[in-house]
Amino acid sequence: MTTETGAAGAAELGLILMSRAAGDANTADADLVRLIKLSRAGDLTAFEQIMRLHDRRVFRTALRLLRRIEDAEDASQEVFLRVHKHLDRFNEAGQFSAWVYRITVNVCRDINRKRSKGLALSLDAFFADGGSSEPASQQPDPLDQASQTEDVRLAAVALRRLPEKERAAVVLRDIEGLSTSEVAGILGSSETTVRSQVSRARLKLKKWRDELNRSRT
């Protein structure tokens, strides 16, 4: 893998960055396509730009699906390594971000399968500890600590209780703000299945949120 950037590639990359700085949203897709082409040619600078465009979403999604920050970091790196490895397979007619989300969900699924059982947060233990502790096997989630409101922190904790498929559906639909059809495409499910999962997850989250609030008062 070459790390050198050709003069033409560097000039093109400079134009792309300038157009992004200028906030030209209409050229965003074309810029992404150009970045992908440069990355395919071995330009790591272009690939770094692609990562910058997607790393926040990838990390956030991985953190919500995996619940541990170390796992989320590992997963994010694995996601981008896979993205780079399979850039040739990406169909430019498709949506790049949806493709990245799909890889993220698959990587998190693989990590969850490998991970030993028993890491799921016990809500009983959470209630017994006054709703302020993390399980012994998990480090505190800095994102939760940084949350401005207690409600948001409770929502993050409740989210961890959801079964894997429901959690994935609600993270993509409600937190990442994707449409039901996009979520269905990413998860490889039908829209009906996604609606069902999202509906159950919302009701559970609402119920747990109420319980957590009651336990704190």
Partner 1 sequence: MNCQRFDGWTALWVEGDLDVRKQALVEEHLASCARCTELAGQLRASQQTLRALRQEIVEPGQLEAIRAGVLRGLSTQEPVRRQWLGWVFGGRRAWRYASLATLFALATGSAVWWMSVAPSPRQEIVRETPSVVLPLAPSDSVAQALSGVEGVAERAKDVSSLARGAQRESGGLPVRQADVSDSTIAAAADEIDEEPDTHD
Q: Is 52 in the site for partner 1 (CB under 8 A)?
A: yes
For residues 127 and 213, the answer to whether their CB atoms sit within 8 Å is no
Q: Which value, to the nearest 10 degrees, does the dihedral of the CA atoms of residues 62, 65, 68, 69 take?
A: 20
For residues 5 and 45, the answer to whether their CB atoms sit within 8 Å is yes
Q: Is 41 in the site for partner 1 (CB under 8 A)?
A: no
Q: Is 215 in the site for partner 1 (CB under 8 A)?
A: no
Q: Is 85 in the site for partner 1 (CB under 8 A)?
A: yes
Residues 6+ apart with CB under 8 A from 165: 187, 197
HSE-CB at 143 with a 13 A cutoff on CA atoms is: 16
3-state helix, strand, coil split of the chain in percent (to 5) is 75, 0, 25
Segment interacting with partner 1 (CB under 8 A) among 28-36, 46-54, 101-109, 115-123:
46-54
Q: Is 68 in the site for partner 1 (CB under 8 A)?
A: no
Q: Is 96 in the site for partner 1 (CB under 8 A)?
A: no
Q: Is 84 in the site for partner 1 (CB under 8 A)?
A: yes
Residues engaged in binding partner 1 (CB under 8 A): 1, 3, 44, 47-48, 51-52, 55-56, 59-60, 64, 69, 73, 76-77, 80-81, 84-85, 88, 142-143, 146-147, 149, 151-152, 154-156, 159, 170, 173-177, 180, 195-196, 198-200, 202-203, 205-206, 209-210
